[in-house]
Homo-oligomer: A and B are copies of this chain.
Amino acid sequence: MRILITGAAGFLGSHLCDRMLSEGHKVVGLDNFVTGSRDNLVHLVRNKDFTFKRHDVSEPITVPGKLDAILHFASPASPNPASPFGYPNLPVETLKAGSMGTFHTLDLALIHQARYVFASTSEIYGDPLEHPQKETYWGHVNPVGPRSMYDEAKRFSEALIMAYYRSKGADTRIVRIFNTYGPRMRLDDGRVVPSFIQQALNKEPLTIFGDGMQTRSFCYVNDLVDGIYRLLLSSEHLPVNIGNPVETSILNFAATINRLAGNPAGVVYSPEDRMDSDPQRRRPDINRAKAILGWNPKVDLEVGLSRTIEYFKEKLGIK
């Protein structure tokens, strides 16, 4: 297949490029580098099956040659208002990527009669009132809240994709991605994994917002990408959760990172107002992914964290 990947220079996008190339496909990557990084693609520069175009998906897209699949992964994705790369600081860019970007990629999919996969998110469930979250849960999102630029853009995209599927016959798929971690996360986007690892490698105490008892379920990026690849090959048109259902408290997560990184500095607690709408708990129900895609996460948290710590060590020049 010849596959267009938007957000190709991002954390998930660049891993998708790698996986698609390793499966023997050709990849056309797009990115506008608002939050993506050239460093994530530098190893592909000499790959003859990979081409790259700097492009903002909020502008119409034209690609020479036939496309067989389009993966729309372009969007700011960090909720951290303290980071310049967090979507609270890129509200209009985020809303454009999840509306105009979705229109343009869907129109392209129709023209090419290409398979289409959209990167949706567990954020569409908002601060959920049901645990774990099934795909049938409608979510609990404040349309005018501090995260609404992301949550509502993703919800809008889902509605738009279903409209193109139902009324125009577009060959669409929707993956709802839960917390994912691994190499190539931005060091500076304020998400918990890179923040913790950076502090651990600097032998500083890890900063915990709130009491640390809020849980997260972290999926290693290779597992996530495997689920997305299976979804691409499937003909499932309704949303599918992909994530790791193993819940870990933030406190336990911090302790594991400190142990793996050999950091004796422990943790410090900070008031929670930085993330006043951060959900207390979120965990995927992955029964649909198991049944439809035969998918299951395989990478153990300690293995995945070790690989991620290695990546950040190299990135930071720590021996």
Interface residues of A (CB under 8 A from B): 91-92, 95-96, 99-100, 103, 124, 126, 138-145, 148-149, 151-153, 155-156, 158-160, 162-164, 166-168, 174, 238-239
Contacts of A124 in B (CB 8 A): 143
Check A155 against B156 for contact (C-beta < 8 Å). yes
Q: Pick the residue among B96, B138, B144 that contacts A141 (CB under 8 A).
A: B138
Check A148 against B168 for contact (C-beta < 8 Å). no
What's the nearest-Cβ distance from chain B to residue A168, in Å? 7
Contacts of A162 in B (CB 8 A): 144, 148
Check B163 against A92 for contact (C-beta < 8 Å). yes
Nearest CB to that of A142 among chain B residues?
B138
Nearest CB to that of A127 among chain B residues?
B138
Check B92 against A168 for contact (C-beta < 8 Å). yes
Check A138 against B138 for contact (C-beta < 8 Å). no
Contacts of A151 in B (CB 8 A): 159
Check B92 against A164 for contact (C-beta < 8 Å). yes
Could you tell me the distance between the alpha carbons of A143 and B143 in the complex, rounded to whole angstroms?
13
Could you tell me the distance between the alpha carbons of A142 and B138 in the complex, rounded to whole angstroms?
5
Contacts of A174 in B (CB 8 A): 144
* With known contacts A92-B167, A99-B99, A159–B138 Cβ distance under 8 A: no
Known: A139-B143, A148-B158, A152-B158. 5 other contacts (CB 8 A): A92-B160, A138-B143, A144-B162, A149-B163, A152-B159
